[in-house]
Structure 1
Amino acid sequence: MSGPRTATPPVGARVRRALAGAVAVLLLPTGCGLPELADLPLPGGAPAGDGYTVTAEFTDVLDLVPQAAVKVDDVTVGSVEKISLAGWTARVRLRLDRAVTLPANATAAVRQSSLLGEKYVTVAAPPTGAASERLGDGDVIPLSRTRRGAEVEEVLAALGLLLNGGGLAQVRTITTELGQALDGREPAVRDALRQLDTFVGGLERQKADLVRAIDALDRLTDRLGRQREIVGEALDSLAPGLTVLADQRAQLTDALTALGELGRVGSRVVTRSRDDTLASVRALQPILEQLARAGDDLPKSLDFMLSFPFPPNVTGAIVGDFVNLAITADLDAAGILANLVAAAPPPAHPSTGPATPGRTKPPSAGGGGTRPRPGGGTGDRPATPLPPLAECLPDLDDFPAIWKPPVECLLPKGCELLKPGSPVPLGGLLLPKALVPPGTVFPAGTELLPGTVLTAPCILPITGAVDGLIGDLGDLLGTGVRE
């Protein structure tokens, strides 16, 4: 890159100035009516009126001189006002006519009028993407938008290099060899060019990714460069380990060989024992199915085994060899007397008929009294015929949220069945299994959904008023009655 040259007038301009000076000196004594020098027009194309100045930066202005013309589309619109040097950049101040309108991103170039003509500056709009703003007074055209034309000396030097052993013979040889190499292979070359075009297009589409990968690689190499000592120490630390591995190469090879043999033996054993393994798994299937069915009861039974013979909820009452029990007895004198004295049978319900076959008869409790049937009758006394048990229980396939027994069943008022998952009310009972335990108004063994909730009126009180129970503490705790 050549630096800016000094503003030296061309030879032709100096000769013209010298001849003009000589003629002026010769004509002065004659007193001829020649115009004054001040009346001569200025060189270049200085605007007639007020214009505006623009500064253009060039890397090389060649032999451009002040007062040189400034042209737009080969029309002179101004002149070079001043040429200065700022570091290695030449700054050319141009004065343009006020009527000249150029975009803010205009370009400038130093050109030559002819082969041996003078230099001038041409200003033009960019080829594409002209700005909407105008180029104004004091604006600067930077180096990125300026250029210069090739000089005659550069063209002649390049031509001389080409003609004086510069490679014409080599170009002919290259062209001949290239023609012979491509002769008959035009389709393959054309396909190769298409593939190359596709490859270059793919690289173009992935240019951002490639640049990002190169930047990441640059950051990685920079970090590795900063950690060169650490990486060197790590590599030095690997040397003893690699030495040990090299020394134990034979053992490692034998171990890998033995591992391969073990794999073959294991595969052979698994293949031969396949039938026995499948048979064993099939034999385990019933056991696993039963364990799955007992999945809910098994943890509870294990919990009960830890406190046998008492249920888990009384372990807090056992202190040493004593058991603290609290019993709430509801002694209803009228109920006790009604059990002691034979009561008259209740009136028969008009809508009930004789008992139907298959009706479940509630078992009688031994000792003091009998368990009531749905409707309030007892097992040994004459009772009013009741509806079938299926009519006094909800449909298990369409279990409602709250089921109220029909009035014909004569169950205690407020006795209701709640859908499984409902909260247990005070004094209610949650059925852990599908069968109703003893101690309710329903016959023991009645089938309901697991998790059904019985309200408090469905539970028989432990008073002997309706259903007496004879036995020890274990029989009492095994009834499943909740208060």
Structure 2
Amino acid sequence: MSERQRANHQCSAARLLRLLRILAGALAVALLPAGCGLPEIADLPLPGGKPAGTGYTVTAEFADVLDLVPRAAVKVDDVTVGSVEKISLSGWHAKVRLRIDRAVRLPANATAAVRQSSLLGEKYVAVAPPPTEPARGRLADGDLIPLSRTTRGAEVEEVLAALGLLLNGGGLAQLRTINAELGKALAGREPELRDTLAQLDTFLAGLDRQKADIVRAIDALDRLTGRLARQRQVVGDALDSLAPGLTVLAQQRAQLTKALTALGQLGTVGTQVIERSRDDTVASVKALQPILEQLARAGDDLPKSLDFMLSYPFPPNVTGAIVGDFVNLSVTADLDAASILANLLAAAPTASGSGIRPNARVTPRPSTAGGAPTSPGKPGGKPGGGILPDLPLTGCLPDLAKLPAVWTPPKECGLPEGCQLLKPGSAVPLGGLLLPKGVVPPGTAFAAGTELPAGTVLTADCVLPLTGAVTGQLGGLTDLLGGGLLQ
């Protein structure tokens, strides 16, 4: 016999016992003599103990009313306040109509439960205020207690069936096996288990401290999922629009692979080109260095000269002196003869255009290779040169075969202080001069045409400035272009 059949038999036996008790009571009443003066049936109280009288009707919905019968008692705090008038079936649940004394006040959210007066006693309906929420309103005639606020108690048959299932091999043996295996597994590992429990306690404590953060994260996740749910159509459209692009990428996968492979080969070729042209690139950059240094030295002279070109032959500040068809002009003439001669002799040109002063004496210059002295003119004895400067050239030039890194002329040479020759390949200082072909041009402290090793660098003090005098002030080309002539 199965457990379910055993439970059904027990339930049937209990019901049969209650039926026998009812029949015995009815038989005893029937056998009483008529002279005992039994009351009329209409005068008897209701079976639940509720005296007949006025009240209000309430309907309660139950998923299972067990063996509840009409005229069963309705109790509030174990006090009978009414009775069951009618039990009917509505769909898959039962509807019980209760009549409650009008003097009993119950909240509108009251609960109802089917209880049992004793182990084998009768069933009744217990009505009570809600246990988990505050009471509100008032239960009135015709109100409904819904299925969500009704329950039923456990039957004796159900308790005995569950107990029999547990005692009849329903898990005790398994509990013993589990306990024994647990003891074997943890034997000798008490410190590790204690450490594990301590770490678990620390972990749970950390979770408890971060409970607010976890709640905020869950709330944020809830808002995110809610937003995604509201934008489900947008997300779906976006995913649908990605499909054509993915299809095109899948179709052009071979071309993309070839393009990436060719890009790798291009990188290899580019690396080879850069490595092979590195020396030339470095040389080109070094060749640009003098130009950039001269541009840096020029500073703002170039933009000033461009400004002067717009008002040539007058300086830019002459616009304030132009009135109508005439120009206001003031000239201060310095007629000091000494100043005039000094200005004329400072940078007067020669017949050859070399920039050498006309009163310079011509002295023979020894050959750079140690040969016979050269005649006046160009280096090497070639006729037709300019006039050499008044310089004692003997010992004023280094050994060209062994030019040091930095060569300073002796003081007896009469060259400007700070004038030095730098070895070819040296960095050109600010204001210095690079001799690409090794020939000294006009305008330096050395004679024009002096031969030096190609690439020799002259410092800034070796370059002679161009000076002049206009309107009583001395200045160079930058002063002229700056528009400072008219005062």
TM-score computed with the length of structure 1 as normaliser: 0.47
Q: TM-score when scaled to structure 2? A: 0.47
User: Which protein is bigger by CA-based radius of gyration?
Assistant: 2
